[in-house]
Amino acid sequence: MCIGALYRRAIGYDESAPSAWFDMARDRNPKAQQMRSRIAAAAARIMAEDGIDDFALAKRKAARTLGATDTHAMPGNEEVEQALRAYQALYQGEEQRERLDELREAAAELLRALASFRPYLTGPVLAGTAGRYSGIELQLFTDDTKGVELFFVNQGLTTEGREHRYFVGDQPRSASIIRLEWNDLPVTMAVLAATDERSVLKTTIGGRPIERAGLAAVEALLASSARLGGSLYNPAEV
């Protein structure tokens, strides 16, 4: 069996019949079901090969490429993420494992350096889907945003800043976004109020909670990777 067929099987795509892999409660049309799995596979390839980390953008590009106009056929982020894991395992195995370990090592170093600002790792590096173009994403919970900026100024590093909005339930939360290069790796940090550390943050009101992990959990991921000889596993499995 060719590697492409293995990938289609891994994501549940069957060329001869509608896939049973996805939850079809939203749409029971067989053609829409099959298009849904095709969009998930195409979006996963775009994310892995083009460095796009925005699920919505990847899905729109995939749908456009496939000529899909039915929004009911659009897969969920979880479906695309599972397809992305399958694609990386089949097409980018060793490269992706090495890159992920490199990013997690650098993230652990940053978490130690920023300990006084209550930092957490989040995003693809935590999820295990980081690839060749991915950077490190952190959340810091502190009321001393200037102190964070000064820390990097004292390291001789140049930072870029902007504002972003998150949600706790249906309540918006403002965050300062700081971007920089750390050991030649791109880093994006969201600095939120110290009181939000115990809150469940989302990027949109209806979005899924943003997972985050402290230093101990990241070190456990690295230790587990060393034992397993690679990084193709979920944080939840540690």
β-strand partners of 163: 176
Regarding whether 225 and 134 lie in a shared domain, the answer is yes
| pLDDT category of residue 230 using cuts at 50, 70 and 90 | low
Q: Indicate the SS3 state at residue 212.
A: strand
* 182-221 per-position pLDDT tens digit: 989 999 999 999 999 999 999 989 888 999 999 999 999 9
How many angstroms separate the CA atoms of 134 and 52, rounded? 9
Q: How confident is the model at residue 199, as a pLDDT? A: 94
132 closest CA partner among 49, 191, 15 = 49
* 151-161 per-position pLDDT tens digit: 999 999 999 99
Residue 238 above 50 pLDDT?
Answer: no
How many angstroms separate the CA atoms of 86 and 90, rounded? 6
140 closest CA partner among 107, 171, 175, 172 = 175
Regarding whether 106 and 220 lie in a shared domain, the answer is yes
Give the C-alpha distances (Å, rounded to integers) separating 185 from 102, 123, 124: 10, 15, 14
Regarding whether 214 and 113 lie in a shared domain, the answer is yes
Regarding whether 202 and 153 lie in a shared domain, the answer is yes
Q: How many domains does the chain have?
A: 2
Please report, for the domain that includes residue 110, its CATH number. Answer: 3.30.460.10
Q: Which of 47-56, 75-84, 138-147, 211-220 has the weakest average pLDDT? A: 47-56
* 82-105 per-position pLDDT tens digit: 998 898 888 887 888 999 999 999
Give the distance, in angstroms, between the CA of residue 33 and the centroid of all CA atoms in the same chain.
Answer: 25
Q: Residue 193 corresponds to which tokens in the numbers above?
A: 């109020």
Regarding whether 103 and 83 lie in a shared domain, the answer is no
How many angstroms separate the CA atoms of 173 and 201, rounded? 9
Q: What are the contacts of 48-54 at 24+ separation with CB within 8 A?
A: 48/84, 48/87, 48/88, 48/91, 48/92, 48/131, 50/133, 51/131, 51/132, 51/133, 51/134, 53/123, 53/124, 53/134
